[in-house]
Structure formats: structure tokens, C-alpha cells
Structure 1
């Protein structure tokens, strides 16, 4: 299948690239001509993504990044600077979803959630934006959030709080980077079961699916398509926006109607 090469030779950094949404985003943009820098905590997982997508080693960058380490993040930035001078697109996709009662959660777990979900996007957006400014690139930053930014979930308070914060941070960056021509937007992907990091049992998955108005989980082109739109020239006048791509899941409480009983014979 031939795809429109709308991102031909655009350079793109994706964190959490070995996860579900990261992998889907890498696949979507690779098919459309982008040169990718894939970042995740495990190099073997990144190598598998690159192999599965048949990415060209000559134009693909891989970096094992520990997003709670300043040195590791700055090493990623330096790799991008050496190879590309500056990226065209940064997608801060990596995130940690934990299920802890606040009374039971260790301080180290709290710090790691906020380190990966909030501090890392701050550091990487700041540093990648400096590269864009130095090269005169009118780049695009996409921060991956969640409908949890607006809806508190029991036993997931740190995650929800971090996603509320990343949306506010994104709007702040959008305001401060606007005069450099750098746009910063937010995508809230929908529910996608299957994560190896945050495994979900079947009962939880089925209950979640019943509450999605459009009746299905997120697919491989849903969130990446929204990211592509926000990074495209068609969205040149959009910054600081939040785009929910979740089948209506974040609208509010929803109960799927029961199937109508068959009419009885006369």
C-alpha cells in the first residue's frame, strides 16, 4: 500500500517508542517518510521496533533513555544535535500509569510518575526547542496526555494529576514558544489494552469498552493520525490545543443501551 509522503525527510523524536502508542506513532510516520529517533528505556525493545518496521539503520536513531536522569535525557538531545542539528517534531509520549492507594504509595513511586510524565517532557521540550530555535526551525511538539487530566480515577491519582499538569505545561510552552514559530499541542489518546508495562485483566478491559460511546478501543491510526494533523501545515494556526481521540470516553459517564428485545409474534 502506498502512503502520502507528507513527512518526507522530516526528523521526529518519539519517547516511549517501544510502547503501544509510541510504536503505532513510529509506524504511522515511517510510512509517510519521516526520519525517526526512537527513545525508550530498553535498547533491545527499540531494536525490535526498528526491525519490525524495517527501518533504515542509516537514517534511524535509537537511544536508551532513562527519563528520570538528566544526564540520559541530555545525551538524547546531544545525539539529535549531532545527527540532525534539530528535530522537526518532538512527541513526548512516554508515561507511567500506576495503580496505588495514596496511603500505600511509596514516595519513590510518586517521584517516578512525575519524573517521567511531567519533568521529562519539560526538560526535553525545553532542550529540543533550543535546538529548533538555533536552526530557525518552526517545529512542532506534541505532548501525550489522557482524558484522566479532567477526570480523577481512584488509585490512579498521581497519573491523573500528572496529566492535568502536562496539559497546563503544554499551554505554557505554546505561549512562550509562539514567537519562535514553534507550536505545542496535546493529544489525548483513547483506551488501548495490551501494554506489557501496565497489564490489564480481561474484566477491566471489557468494562472499559462498554463505557466508550463509539464502542471500541483505540486503533493504530487513531492517535497517530491526530498527531500527524497537528504537526502538518493544515494545523499551522493551532497551538496550545487539546485533541481528544478517545471515542467519546472523556465526555462523561456513558452506559451503552441494552439491545431491544425482539418483538413477540402477533
Structure 2
């Protein structure tokens, strides 16, 4: 992994830290020497994650659908650090179901986690950064689904489109304070604790990716560390796609059936 030399000692908040992508991001920042605030819904899962990481870190279990829980997290950060330098809005849900079958409560849950929580957390931590005159960085974990609809996960696609627009909106309004806001679209990941995929689906999807493999911890970690570092100091409102070329098209060869003349 390419470790920038300017992230040592930076104070980093990672939401959804216990998921596959979240744990990759947390490990990358730990290796870079950053201080970590790890948050997820399960205290036990957070403790297990923290045991596998080095350096300064603390855990805060919170349901980010609850505004009071977000305020509590922000208050804990203020007590321990004064302010964070970097926020990674990684927490997200990816339920499946046809639009005709999705209930209002499930729709609201998807948007509460994928859009409302990043809005609330960015807002409250950006205010801390501004008060402390810290030129911070916010990184939202988006998806190629923000630009291309996928059958049975339309609410997720719509929520990620909204997150992309929120990224640009915050980037526009926080630029005057020196706070950069960007997003990353990781590539295909072969399943997670909340999104179990069949071997057939994994093989078919991987086979269609131009670079021929799913995302790895290094792919995601390098992208996040880059956007958080001074190497990306002139980037804000951008979305960095790190998907092996999956978003540009499929590498599967189209074979038409020949018919006799």
C-alpha cells in the first residue's frame, strides 16, 4: 500500500468501520499512523476490530439513524480531540427487493443510513473543524450504482446518487473554510456481512470486469489515503472511481448466434 507521509497523527473518523470496506479503510489509516475513531452499531464487533489495529484508537458504538447518537459521537470527539481532521462516511446498507415490494420503513432506513447520516455527521464535524480552523477532509464512500440502475436494488442506487450530489453540495459550501469533500466509488467486492453473494454471481461479475478481478483492501485503502492526503489538496467535489474499469463497460465478448442466409 502507498502510505502518504502527511497522515501521521491525523484524527480520522470511520463510520461502518466493522464492514469489509470499513475495516480496510481503518487498517489503511492505522498503517499510516493516524489516530482513529471507529464507529459502528456493535460494540463487540468494534472491540474485535480495534484489537487487530495498531496505534491510537477509540471505539464508539452508535446507530447513525439516530440524530442524538450522532450528536453523542460528535461530543465524544470534541472531548477527546477537539476536532477530527478527516471523516470517512462509509456506513451504508444494501438491501435487495423489487420497488413494488419495498415498504416505506425500509425505504426510509436506506436513506437514513446512506444519505441522512452522512449529512448530519458531516454537518456537525465540519462545524468543529471550522471552529478549530482545521482544513479538514470528508470522504464519502459512494458506488457505481449512483450512475447505473440495478434491478432489485433501486433504492440503494437512488441513495448513492443523492450522496454524490450531497458530496458536491458540501464541497461547494465548505471550500471557503478549506474543507475538502470528495467521494470514492470502490469496485466490485465479493460479498460482505450484509450482502451475501452466490459463487456464480461472483464469478460472472468478476469475469466481466476489464481488469479481471474484484476490489482489494489495497485498492480501497490507496484511494482513501490519497484523497485524505496533501497530494489531493486541489481536489474537492470529485468522485474517484476505483473499479478496475467496471463502470466503462463489460469485457465479456458479445457473441451473436449466426443464422443461415
Q: Judge same fold: TM > 0.5, yes or no.
A: yes
1:1-266 matches, within 5 Å, as 5-53=5-53, 55-56=54-55, 59-255=56-252
8 Å Cα contact 2:6-2:230 kept in structure 1: no
Q: 1:2 to 1:157 in 2, by over 3 A?
A: closer
> Runs ≥4 in structure 1, deviation > 4 angstroms?
1-5
Give the RMSD, CA atoms, in angstroms: 1.6
Q: SS state of the match for residue 213, structure 2?
A: coil
- TM-score in terms of structure 1 length: 0.92
- TM-score in terms of structure 2 length: 0.94
For residues 147 and 18 of structure 2, what CA distance do their matches in structure 1 show? 27
8 Å Cα contact 2:187-2:246 kept in structure 1: yes
Q: 1:80 to 1:248 in 2, by over 3 A?
A: same
For residues 133 and 79 of structure 1, what CA distance do their matches in structure 2 show? 17
Q: SS state of the match for residue 102, structure 1?
A: coil
Q: SS state of the match for residue 221, structure 1?
A: helix
Q: Runs of 5+ in structure 2 lacking a partner?
A: 256-261
What displacement does 1:52 show? 1.6
Q: SS state of the match for residue 80, structure 2?
A: helix
Deviations along 1:112-147, one digit per CA (max 9) or x if unpaired, are 100000000000000010000000000000000000
For residues 251 and 112 of structure 2, what CA distance do their matches in structure 1 show? 33
Q: Runs of 5+ in structure 1 lacking a partner?
A: 259-266
8 Å Cα contact 1:6-1:33 kept in structure 2: no
8 Å Cα contact 2:164-2:183 kept in structure 1: yes
For residues 80 and 111 of structure 1, what CA distance do their matches in structure 2 show? 27
